[in-house]
Amino acid sequence: MSTINPLVGIIMGSDSDLPVMQAAANILKQFNIAFELTIVSAHRTPQRMMEYATNARERGLKVIIAGAGGAAHLPGMVASITTLPVIGVPIKSTNSIDGWDSILSILQMPNGIPVATVALNAAKNAGILAAEIIGTYDEKISATLLVYKKQMQTEVLNKADKLKEDWANEFDS
């Protein structure tokens, strides 16, 4: 699946990662940021991974979001090849013991090859972070992000008001 002139490449080690990774696609869609979504496995398709990471920048991508689970080498290996920022999504996958294996495989990168690692299964945050990276040069996207953050604030404040009201009623009764 792809959109025209994608700015964000969402890749994952397996189609079994899709239920988690589609949250990154959904939020990018909400922000009107063009993305592509595909499967690239570090272990099962190493040559495809090399090609993807090697050509990503000249194809116009600005950020890569890479999700994998278990022995999750995809984000780190892609980051070792490209100079684009890579956001890693650790996935509690079919072969993951408890999620820590995925987290540590993506997080504990050697000096020189950073991967911006989000929380376990936090593909939505990966999408938001990708948008924020694009927002550093695209005013329209940074304005969209500002609206998003303000909406979240309003939601929390409304919930706080409701809580106050509910508890006030509780004390009255």
> Which residues contact ligand RP5 (rule: CB under 6 A)?
12-14, 16-17, 41, 43, 68-70, 91, 93-95
The residue to which tokens 């940021």 are assigned: 33
Least distance in angstroms from the C-beta of 73 to ligand RP5: 8
| DSSP bridge pairs for 11 | 38, 66
Least distance in angstroms from the C-beta of 123 to ligand RP5: 12
Which residue lies nearest ligand RP5, judged by its C-beta?
13
86-91 and 116-117 strand pairing: parallel
CB 107 within 8 A of CB 75: no
Instruction: Specify the residue, 35 or 105, whose C-beta has the smaller distance to ligand RP5.
Output: 105
Instruction: Specify the residue, 44 or 164, whose C-beta has the smaller distance to ligand RP5.
Output: 44
**How many beta carbons lie within 10 A of that of residue 50, not counting itself?**
15
Residue 80, token pair as written in the block? 């070792």
The residue to which tokens 């609206």 are assigned: 147
Least distance in angstroms from the C-beta of 41 to ligand RP5: 6
Instruction: Specify the residue, 11 or 133, whose C-beta has the smaller distance to ligand RP5.
Output: 11
Least distance in angstroms from the C-beta of 171 to ligand RP5: 50
